[in-house]
Chains A and B, each alone.
Chain A
Amino acid sequence: MNFFLQLVVTGFALGMVYALIAIGFVIILKCSEVFNIAQGHFVLIGGYLGYTFLVPLGLPIWAALGMAIATAIIMGLAIERLVLRPLLGEPVLAIIMVTIALSTILGGLATLLWGAEYKAYHGLLPTITLKIGTISIPSESLIGLIVSVICVVLLMLLFRYTKIGLAMRATAEDLAVVQSVGIKATTVYAVSWVIACVVGVIGGILLGGVSGANMELAEVGLKAFAVVLLGGVNSIGGAIVAGIILGMLENVAAGYLDPLLPGGGLAKVFPFIVMIIVLIFRPYGLFGLTRIERI
Chain B
Amino acid sequence: MGLRWGTFQENYAQDMAIFRTRLDWGMLFTFLIFLFACPLFSSDRILTILTMMGIAVISVHGLNILTGYCGQISIGHAGFMAVGGYTSAILCAKLGLPFWAALPCGALAAGMAGLIFGLPSLKIKGFYLIMATIAAHFIIIWTIIQLRSITGGPDGLSVPKPTIGGIVLSSKANYFYLVMVITCLATLLAKNIVRTRAGRAFIAIRDNDLAAEVMGISLWSYKLQAFFIGCVYAGVAGSLLIHYFSFASTDQFPFFDSVWYLGMLIVGGMGSTTGAIFGAVALKLLDELVTMVGPILSAAVAPQAAASLALISHGLIIIIFLIFEPRGLHHRWEMIKAYFRLWPFSHEVLE
Contact = CB atoms under 8 A, between A and B. Distances in A.
Given A262-B146, A276-B136, A104 B308 contact: no
A100 B127 CA distance: 12
Given A262-B146, A279-B124, A283-B128, A101 B316 contact: yes
A107 interface: yes
B307 A104 contact: no
20 contacts: A96-B73, A96-B130, A97-B322, A98-B322, A101-B319, A105-B311, A108-B309, A111-B307, A222-B138, A233-B127, A261-B146, A263-B145, A263-B153, A268-B138, A272-B134, A279-B131, A280-B120, A283-B120, A283-B128, A295-B211
Contacts, number: 137
B45 to A, nearest CB: 26
Interface in A87-140: 87, 90, 92-94, 96-98, 100-105, 107-109, 111-112, 115-116
Contacts of B312: 104-105, 108-109, 112
Contacts of B131: 225, 229, 275, 279
Nearest to B141: A269
A283 B136 contact: no
Contact of B315 (A102, A229, A269): A102
A175 interface: no
A115 B138 contact: no
Contacts of A90: 322, 326
Contact of B259 (A104, A111, A115): A104
Interface in A230-285: 233, 261-263, 265, 268-269, 272-273, 275-276, 279-280, 283
A83 B315 CA distance: 11
Given A90-B322, A100-B318, A108-B309, A263 B146 contact: yes
Given A94-B322, A104-B312, 8 more contacts: A97-B322, A98-B318, A102-B315, A105-B319, A111-B304, A262-B148, A279-B123, A283-B128
B314 interface: yes
A90 B145 CA distance: 38
Contacts of A102: 315, 319
A193 interface: no
Contacts of B145: 263, 265
A90 B321 CA distance: 13
B323 A86 contact: yes
A268 B316 contact: no
Interface size class of A (residues with CB under 8 A): 35 or more
Contacts of B305: 112
A280 B322 contact: no
Of B138, B153, B302, most A-chain CB atoms within 10 Å? B138
A35 interface: yes
A174 interface: no
Interface string B5-38: 0000000000000000000000000000000000
Nearest to B323: A86
B139 interface: yes
A104 B128 contact: no
Given A83-B319, A104-B315, A276-B120, A115 B303 contact: yes
Interface in B97-142: 119-120, 123-124, 126-128, 130-132, 134-136, 138-139, 142
A115 B304 contact: yes
Interface in B155-183: none
Given A90-B322, A295-B214, A272 B309 contact: no
Given A263-B145, A263-B153, A276 B139 contact: yes
A24 to B, nearest CB: 16
A87 B323 contact: yes
Interface string B216-248: 000000000000000000000000000000000
Given A275-B132, A280-B119, A35 B259 contact: no
Contacts of A116: 304, 307
